[in-house]
Amino acid sequence: MLNDTTLLLVLDGVSVVRVERLADGTRRVHLATADERARACPDCGVFATRVKGSVVTRPRDLPYGESGLEFRWHKRRWWCREPGCPSSPGARTPTSPR
**pTM of the entire predicted model:** 0.67
| Mean pLDDT value across the chain | 79
Q: What is the pLDDT of residues 15-51, one digit of tens each?
A: 888 999 999 888 898 989 888 888 899 889 899 888 8
Q: How many CA atoms lie within 13 A of 56 on its CB side?
A: 7
User: What span, in angstroms and rounded, lies between the C-alpha atoms of 86 and 65?
Assistant: 46
User: What span, in angstroms and rounded, lies between the C-alpha atoms of 54 and 57?
Assistant: 10
